């Protein structure tokens, strides 16, 4: 069944971990502009994990670990309050988690990533854990980072040109749904880097990835247009994300490499 590992006893964990899929939600503590809290990515990753457990119930042998609050967030290091792990530290933490999962008898490890800045590092961690611990490893996201796909058409009133990547319409709407008391819409401002829309390749979702810091796009640190965000839209986005994540986990739970000749 789907459950939170920390709630089990040692003997129950020893039994349920055999052949299990272990899910590690990963958030962040980092600036999200003047209108969202530092905890935004953590809140979303944690809420997604809880919704997955509630929706899957007894369907899968899935054990969810406590959400990792700190991760690779140094693109926001310029802002007070941002907490980040170095590449080396985060790799070691992820490897230690993988080692523990494998030692306990799990067969699959899934990183549920709530912070787009982790994506490249987590892809590497999947490969390393596969080699070092003979686990089947996977990376999923509640919301796909922009580098993974071409810019999508704007939401009806967003005007984000596919670049609402940090504290923009979608993320703000989801937070209005999950934690409305932490959102200050009076401080929500539009900040879309229009000049990037002229580029075919070097842009968010383009064929060329590029290094950036969030204050490269303005002193407020967010990128997008949160001004039209609503809790209703956020609830729709979140429900759709959970549905996709559960479908992904169903497939992950039965995935194996076909090594037959």
In the predicted structure, residue 155 carries a pLDDT above the cut 80: no
Task: Please state the rounded mean pLDDT for residues 216-224.
Answer: 95
Instruction: Evaluate the CA torsion angle 127, 128, 132, 138 in order and state its sign.
Output: negative
In angstroms, rounded to a whole number, what is the distance separating the alpha carbons of residues 206 and 199? 8
Is residue 152 very low, low, confident or very high in pLDDT (cuts 50, 70, 90)?
low
Concatenating the DSSP letter of every residue in 141-180 gives -SS--GGGSPPPPPPTTT--TT---BSSHHHHHHHHHH-G
In angstroms, rounded to a whole number, what is the distance separating the alpha carbons of residues 106 and 97? 11
**Helices assigned H by DSSP within 165-225:** 169-178
Query: Which has the minimum average pLDDT: 99-103, 113-117, 147-151, 248-252?
Result: 147-151
* Per-residue confidence (pLDDT) for residue 126, from 0 to 100: 98
Task: Please state the rounded mean pLDDT for residues 178-189.
Answer: 98
In angstroms, rounded to a whole number, what is the distance separating the alpha carbons of residues 96 and 169? 36
Three-state secondary-structure class, residue 27: coil
**Helices assigned H by DSSP within 73-168:** 87-103, 119-133
Query: Which has the minimum average pLDDT: 90-99, 144-153, 164-173, 177-186?
Result: 144-153
Contacts of 258 (CB under 8 A, 6+ apart): none
* Per-residue confidence (pLDDT) for residue 159, from 0 to 100: 80
In angstroms, rounded to a whole number, what is the distance separating the alpha carbons of residues 26 and 243? 19
Q: Please, what is the end-to-end C-alpha distance for the chain in angstroms?
A: 34
Is residue 158 very low, low, confident or very high in pLDDT (cuts 50, 70, 90)?
low
Task: Please state the rounded mean pLDDT for residues 105-113.
Answer: 98
Average pLDDT, the chain: 93
Please name the fold of domain 3-254: Rossmann fold (3.40.50)
Question: Which contiguous run of DSSP H or E holds residue 236?
Answer: helix 231-254
* pLDDT, tens only, 37-75: 999 999 999 999 999 999 999 999 999 999 999 999 999
Task: Please state the rounded mean pLDDT for residues 214-222.
Answer: 95
For residue 150, give Cα distances in angstroms to 87, 157, 209.
27, 19, 12
* Per-residue confidence (pLDDT) for residue 156, from 0 to 100: 46
* Per-residue confidence (pLDDT) for residue 147, from 0 to 100: 61
* Per-residue confidence (pLDDT) for residue 145, from 0 to 100: 74
Question: Which contiguous run of DSSP H or E holds residue 64?
Answer: strand 62-64
What residues are paired with 21 via a beta bridge? 62, 108
* pLDDT, tens only, 188-202: 999 999 999 899 999
Contacts of 12 (CB under 8 A, 6+ apart): none
Burial 105-123 (b: 16+ CB within 10 A, else e): ebbbbbbbbbbbbbbebbe
Of 8, 126, 149, give the one whose Cα is nearest residue 65: 8
Residue predicted with more confidence, 96 or 152: 96
* pLDDT, tens only, 238-261: 999 999 999 999 999 999 998 855
Task: Please state the rounded mean pLDDT for residues 87-98.
Answer: 97
In angstroms, rounded to a whole number, what is the distance separating the alpha carbons of residues 53 and 50? 5
């Amino acid at each position: 069944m789907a459950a939170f590992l920390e709630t089990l006893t040692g003997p129950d964990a020893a039994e349920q971990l055999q052949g299990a899929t272990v899910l590690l939600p990963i958030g962040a503590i980092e600036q999200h502009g003047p209108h969202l809290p530092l905890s935004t990515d953590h809140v979303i990753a944690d809420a997604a994990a809880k919704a997955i457990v509630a929706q899957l119930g007894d369907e899968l042998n899935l054990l969810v670990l406590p959400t990792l609050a700190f991760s690779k967030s140094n693109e926001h290091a310029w802002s007070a309050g941002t907490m980040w792990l170095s590449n080396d530290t985060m790799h070691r933490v992820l490897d230690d988690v993988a080692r523990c999962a494998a030692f306990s008898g799990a067969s699959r490890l899934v990183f549920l990533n709530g912070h787009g800045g982790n994506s490249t590092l987590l892809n590497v961690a999947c490969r390393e854990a596969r080699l070092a611990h003979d686990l089947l490893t996977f990376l999923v996201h509640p919301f796909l980072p922009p580098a993974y796909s071409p810019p999508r058409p704007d939401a009806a009133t967003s005007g984000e040109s596919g670049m609402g990547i940090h504290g923009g319409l979608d993320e703000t709407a989801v937070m209005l749904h999950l934690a409305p008391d932490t959102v200050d819409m009076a401080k929500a401002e539009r900040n879309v880097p229009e000049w990037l829309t002229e580029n075919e390749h070097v842009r968010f979702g383009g064929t060329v990835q590029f290094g950036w810091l969030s204050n490269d796009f303005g002193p407020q640190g967010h990128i997008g247009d949160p001004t039209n965000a609503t809790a209703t839209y956020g609830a729709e986005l979140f429900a759709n994300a959970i549905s996709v994540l559960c479908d992904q986990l169903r497939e992950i739970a039965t995935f194996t490499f076909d090594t037959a000749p």
